[in-house]
Structure 1
């Protein structure tokens, strides 16, 4: 599988995006459950299917571009409002970078790491090994990149993230992932309770770091990506559950910037799985 990914990584981005778009529609047409979840999630956010129809192809492109992003040559990346990011790092308090499942979140981490590595050290990201044996070498290779420091999804990993923030470095998270039971709280997401991780809010409240929302817009015709950076609309609430709800609202705002590239198929409202692992902080 690693050899296959290396071969695909040599293809132009526009070709991988075209193949991915076909894959996205094939999955959509083949799975009634998948179609229903996409429609239901979009409707919950106030969109009819016509408004988010392009997301079907973009979800496939998200998969198609992975060989190039993980193992291939760098792709074109530009920034919008990069001053927002630079100012956060310049304050020296560490930067918590939050990205929902929109656009290309892989390239977002790569772009931040490349821009900030020499002045502020690596970007620390959570790393969960692939559950499928055949995919594990590919995923492991994808995390061996300059400027990225991958840490495990354990208490040890959380401690490393806290350490990085206190050293003025960056930490990246996808805060709209559904965490295991005991690692989150129920908070509104587009008006419906969703089990939401507390890790992002805990890191910010415990370290006093800067918080920024970032996302990578996929440009048409394989032209690359445009990375966006946003500040919180208001200071983060001091009470944990209020802070979690506030961050959900911030994620909603990013998604509404480009609902056509959001992962509407993600089971955001599912029940959390049980785990025997360690807590998040």
Structure 2
């Protein structure tokens, strides 16, 4: 019964107009914020830590709901309008026929970034993108997510050793890989590094992939435009955001990547998922 309800809701949201979907998501974001005291406490703590105040701080509540509600529309609905800022950096990277690593924080519509890449570069250029995702523990969602995250020019692999090997292989073939480096990894797969001034358990995988021979690092995020007008994918090379190259040591490299993610987030803080449990203790994979 639960699986049928989930699929029916996803099918409905997939075919509603994007402005309506995002409007419903805005309401849902506020409903979740009002209904959950732990969520409110976490949101308050994280926004204060980052020094976020005023309209941008409150706008992030509704934006979190929009990010969830628009997923079915992106996964299964008609195409959405996507613009680009910095697509030339991708063109230049692909021209060198070396692996490309995209690092994207939980900012804006992070699901639209690899999909837009797959449509513009993956299929036409024969340079697919492989993204890492954490499988849902709910059976009703697991199969749906697998279906949603596989499409022409784009493959999704789970956060397992086999999935990491597939990422490495994709980079060696000169393809693209996408990661959310501000996602909390399992115990033993990260280091503690500052994130907005507070220690956060940070994955070492992003740095390991970035340090593979010849890999080019691009920072990307998908901005949600107001009133359902679509999205803009912003792309910048690492050197345009960070003055220093990536360090060799895992702790130093993780801290650098966190600083790079902070820089992107500060450009549009109202669209960051401040309620995400970024500072939680890592779970034991065993």
Q: TM-score, normalised by structure 1?
A: 0.94
- Over the aligned positions, Cα root-mean-square deviation in angstroms equals 1.3
Does residue 139 (structure 1) correspond to residue 124 (structure 2)? The answer is no
Does residue 97 (structure 1) correspond to residue 107 (structure 2)? The answer is no
Does residue 34 (structure 1) correspond to residue 36 (structure 2)? The answer is no
From 216, 224, 233, give the equivalent of 1:227: 233
How far does residue 112 in structure 1 lie from its aligned partner after superposition? 1.2
Aligned to 2:172: 166
Aligned to 1:59: 64
How far does residue 202 in structure 1 lie from its aligned partner after superposition? 0.5
Structure 1: runs of 5+ lacking an equivalent: 277-281
Aligned to 2:267: 257
Q: Secondary structure at the match of 1:216?
A: strand
Cα distance in structure 2, aligned partners of 1:129 and 1:240: 26
Does the aligned pair in 2 maintain the 1:39–1:48 contact within 8 Å? no
Spell out, residue by residue over 1:65-94, the C-alpha distance to the aligned partner (whole angstroms, 9 max, x if none): 011111111100000121122222222221
Does the aligned pair in 1 maintain the 2:13–2:69 contact within 8 Å? no
Cα distance in structure 1, aligned partners of 2:126 and 2:215: 14
Spell out, residue by residue over 1:14-65, the C-alpha distance to the aligned partner (whole angstroms, 9 max, x if none): 0000000000001111112111111110111122354311010100001110
Question: Where do residues 193-232 of structure 1 align in structure 2 (5 Å cutoff)?
Answer: 193-232=199-238
Does residue 109 (structure 1) correspond to residue 119 (structure 2)? The answer is no
Does the aligned pair in 1 maintain the 2:191–2:250 contact within 8 Å? no
Q: TM-score, normalised by structure 2?
A: 0.93
Aligned to 1:46: 51
Aligned to 1:179: 185
Cα distance in structure 2, aligned partners of 1:13 and 1:263: 20
Cα distance in structure 2, aligned partners of 1:176 and 1:207: 23
Query: Please, which moves more after superposition, 233-242 or 23-32?
Result: 233-242
Aligned to 1:88: 93
Cα distance in structure 2, aligned partners of 1:52 and 1:100: 17
Q: Secondary structure at the match of 1:228?
A: strand
CA 119–79 in structure 1, closer or farther in 2 if over 3 Å, else same: same
Cα distance in structure 1, aligned partners of 2:57 and 2:191: 28
Does the aligned pair in 2 maintain the 1:165–1:207 contact within 8 Å? no
Does the aligned pair in 1 maintain the 2:21–2:69 contact within 8 Å? yes
From 134, 152, 155, give the equivalent of 1:149: 155
Cα distance in structure 1, aligned partners of 2:72 and 2:210: 33
Structure 2: runs of 5+ lacking an equivalent: 1-5
How far does residue 120 in structure 1 lie from its aligned partner after superposition? 4.0
Does the aligned pair in 2 maintain the 1:164–1:170 contact within 8 Å? yes
Structure 1 runs of 4+ with >3 Å offset: none
Cα distance in structure 2, aligned partners of 1:207 and 1:125: 19
From 129, 132, 138, give the equivalent of 2:135: 129
